[in-house]
Structure 1
Amino acid sequence: MTTADPTRSDGRLDGFRSDRAYLGADHGRNERRTWIVAAICAVTLVAQLAGGLLFRSMALTASGLHMAAHVAALLVAAGAYALARRHAASPRFAFGTGKIGDLAGFANAVVLGMTAVLIAVESFQRLLTPEAVDYASALPLAAAGLAVTVVCVWLLKPTAHGRHDLNLSAAHLHLSADALFGVLAIAGLLAGQRLGWRWADPAAGLAGAALVGQFAVGLLRRAAATLLDMNPSADLTTQIRTRLEAEGERVVDLHLWRLGPGHHAAVAVVSAADPQPVEAYHARLRGLEGLSHLTIEVRRPESVRV
């Protein structure tokens, strides 16, 4: 800084974190749940693919392929939890490892989108050239796969704190999409068995692919917003500005970004003709939910060059 008497704080006052551990409140619990669900999905994957090939069901095969993407996604998610935990205090990460989960979520969204494309292509080919399906054998396996997926969705259901965890949300979204996909697969198999609509099975695959693709796009947007440090909360930004300007000061520069699940950082430059000690400005922001790291610079009006 070039000004003569600015006051600055680096976020090490009481009420804000001075370490780099910006992990979610349920990080350890979410990691354990993710490993368990990954194991369950791996077993289901083998059963669905084997059944799809044996009974020549596109919907069942597509469900298995989609489950394969889930297994990969869950392994990435679980690995991200482990990596973030292991390096949480490492000085190599200036703002901690909280965003590793967001990076994993972005990667999983890409995989989810690619899976949707592959399912759509295969389903379209089957729609043009329908194949005979062993409905009586495929239906029970599809129902069993759906039951397993519903259990996994329940196991990964985000808690109150977990709603901020994009890594967990991505894994949960993968499985939720698969549950809806399973419903479509069963509907297609039933239509083919009872109504003779051979096109219903691949049509269910196409509908599922469209649904999965939509989920993938939404997840990509959420993850990219965090990785690109887009403002995560207009409401929190407004609260910070309002509190810092409570006694006639002017906030001339303010940046807010996400550090990890439930954690945000803010950097603010405050212009004040009669500046108070920086501790006073910290006190104004203390207690704001989700604000974990704070840097405030206070300058007199004549020295402000932002």
Structure 2
Amino acid sequence: MSRSASAAEPTCSHAALDGFQTDRAFLGADHRRNERRTWIVMGVCVVTLIAQVLGGLVFHSMALTASGLHMAAHVAALLVASGAYALARRHASNPAFAFGTGKIGFLAGFANAVVLGITAIAIAVESVQRLFSPETVDYGSALPLAVGGLAVTLVCVWLLKPTEHGRHDLNISAAHLHLSADAMVGVLAIGGLIAGQRLGWAWADPAAGLAGAALVAQFAVSLIRRASSALLDINPSPELTAEVRARLEADGERVVDLHLWRLGPGHNAAVAVVEAAAPQAPEAYHARLRGLEGLSHVTVEVRTAKLPGCP
């Protein structure tokens, strides 16, 4: 936890300078591991994409070609996630980033959430069109393809499962949800294909598509909310804020200003202005905040409460 204090006005005030934060690499605890996992999963998706597209060209199968192009969306999402990890790591010590590069992952998560939202809209539009203008489905060819695609997706979902330490890492969560959503859509698609093949319900396939679109949209909205709250510096934890305030006011002081925001996965910063009739040194206030989980950067300004007649 960093320990620093800003100087207050020289009149009727007191403050001390208590050092500066030198390490601003506010990256997630599993940053390198998550980076490796996203590159591995992207490699799996690239191999699958090439195999499906080549198979489509060789066997003149539009279904295989379409499945390969769909896999390209996974590759793009994983490329964004992997690139964000690499960029954040390489520039972790770059002084141009005032509070480090921890938020690059949130930006990547937001981008992938937007892609998920666009995907949901595209699936919904196509499904509605097929409800009103049904097309002949080759169930015998489509089912094995859907099952194979689902198998690959499930392997990727397992490889990207966030760890306990990585629960705050929105970048890995976004990539994981992207593939999880696709897996659920795959399950719905298989159900719709089976219903169409065995029961003759031509509407089952597009209906499954609509259900999948709704599911993907729900994931997208959830991710957009989480990412935007971090990018817009919305208070990440009212409970942590209340604890910081309570500790700083433990001896009758008054916190006149307090801000808490997220710096990166599992890292939060706090800036506080403490006012007291007989204020302690800033070090004492930093000591009160030691041990708070997730609090990685602290700045405390200490002021002497204005006395009667003091300007």
- TM-score, length basis structure 2: 0.89
Question: Is the 1:69–1:115 Cα contact (8 Å) retained in structure 2?
Answer: no
Task: Give the match for residue 270 of structure 1.
Answer: 274
Q: State the shift of 1:65 in Å.
A: 5.8
Q: State the shift of 1:6 in Å.
A: 2.6
Q: State the shift of 1:124 in Å.
A: 1.4
Question: Is the 2:81–2:109 Cα contact (8 Å) retained in structure 1?
Answer: yes
Which amino acid in the other structure matches residue 254 of structure 1? L
Q: State the shift of 1:54 in Å.
A: 3.0
Match of 2:167 among 163, 168, 176: 163
Which amino acid in the other structure matches residue 156 of structure 1? L
Task: Give the match for residue 6 of structure 1.
Answer: 14
Task: Give the match for residue 140 of structure 1.
Answer: 144
Render the CA deviation track for 1:157-184: whole Å, top value 9, x for unaligned. 1111100101011001101101101100
Match of 2:206 among 202, 206, 209: 202
> The residue matched to 1:302 in structure 2 has which SS?
coil
> The residue matched to 1:94 in structure 2 has which SS?
coil
Aligned pairs for 1:59-70 within 5 A: 61=66, 67-70=71-74
Match of 1:219 among 202, 220, 223: 223
Question: Is the 1:67–1:178 Cα contact (8 Å) retained in structure 2?
Answer: no
Which amino acid in the other structure matches residue 97 of structure 1? T
RMSD over equivalenced CA pairs, Å:
2.1
Separation in 2, partners of 1:203, 1:185: 9
Aligned pairs for 1:1-306 within 5 A: 1-4=8-11, 5-9=13-17, 12=20, 18-45=22-49, 54=61, 61=66, 67-302=71-306
Separation in 1, partners of 2:163, 2:63: 40
Separation in 2, partners of 1:93, 1:81: 15
Separation in 1, partners of 2:86, 2:70: 24
Separation in 1, partners of 2:63, 2:205: 11
Structure 1 segments unaligned to the other structure (5+ residues): none
Separation in 2, partners of 1:70, 1:174: 8
Separation in 2, partners of 1:250, 1:273: 10
Separation in 2, partners of 1:191, 1:103: 40
Render the CA deviation track for 1:4-59: whole Å, top value 9, x for unaligned. 343145664xxxx53110001110110000011112123334566777x93669xx
Which amino acid in the other structure matches residue 15 of structure 2? T
**290-299 or 123-132, which deviates more:** 123-132
> The residue matched to 2:137 in structure 1 has which SS?
coil
Which amino acid in the other structure matches residue 93 of structure 1? F
**87-96 or 272-281, which deviates more:** 272-281
Render the CA deviation track for 1:179-227: whole Å, top value 9, x for unaligned. 1011001001101110011111122111111111111111101000000
Separation in 1, partners of 2:137, 2:52: 14
Which amino acid in the other structure matches residue 183 of structure 2? A
**Number of matched pairs:** 295
From the superposition, tell whether residues 54 and 144 of structure 1 become closer, same or farther in structure 2 (CA, over 3 Å). Answer: same
Question: Is the 1:77–1:101 Cα contact (8 Å) retained in structure 2?
Answer: yes
Structure 2 segments unaligned to the other structure (5+ residues): 1-7
**122-131 or 214-223, which deviates more:** 122-131
Separation in 2, partners of 1:56, 1:141: 8
Which amino acid in the other structure matches residue 230 of structure 1? I
Q: State the shift of 1:64 in Å.
A: 5.8
